[in-house]
Amino acid sequence: MLKILLIRTGTTEYECQGRIQGTLDVPLSEDGRQEAEQLVESLHEQSIDLLYHAPCRATQQTAEMLVEQLSLKSKKIDNLHNLDHGLWQGMLIDDVKSKQPKVYRQWQEQPETVCPPNGETLQQARERLQQTLAKLVKKHKEGTVAILVPEPLASLLRCMLTHEAIGGMWRAENLNGSPWELIEVPPEVALRN
């Protein structure tokens, strides 16, 4: 059986500032670098066949630390880019909340029903992730592969793999305080999403 080690990218300055990052290419913050170092320590006991990662700078920085210190092979996958939040990208979350309170509330409670202006819907992101998962499951029938992606894409991917409702996606962040989670994925389950 295939196991996916879902890993969240370290924190960026935008996240520290309470901004919506989306697909903006922001590097790790100092906190994010420390998180990545702690991540390396917490993954020493895991056997990882290959690390797949998103193309953004913060994720690449996190991946570089994992590759170097854990002697992993890695592959960047462009389809693992974060959710595109369109015109909301770079905005403070509080500004979206105060300027568009109804839309913000709907985004929190039913994210699948909201598309930021010029952005990507969760369904579009889900379809993109499903294509990538199908290829990974076809290539890796067993073993453990790691997928390193930023939030909120990590939460969407987790919902897909565990078949949790997308509505609870924002609350799924942080994996109970851990930056990673090991998920067993039978091939028929991954292909069904």
* pLDDT tens per residue across span 6-39: 999 999 999 999 999 999 999 999 999 999 999 9
Residue 188: what pLDDT? Answer: 62
Q: Quick one: average pLDDT of 113-136?
A: 93
Residue-range definition of the domain harbouring residue 89 = 2-192
Give the total number of structural domains in the chain.
1
| 104 conformational bin, left if phi > 0, alpha if psi -120 to 50, beta if neither | alpha
CATH of the domain at 120: 3.40.50.1240
* pLDDT tens per residue across span 102-112: 998 998 888 88
Residue 172: what pLDDT? Answer: 43
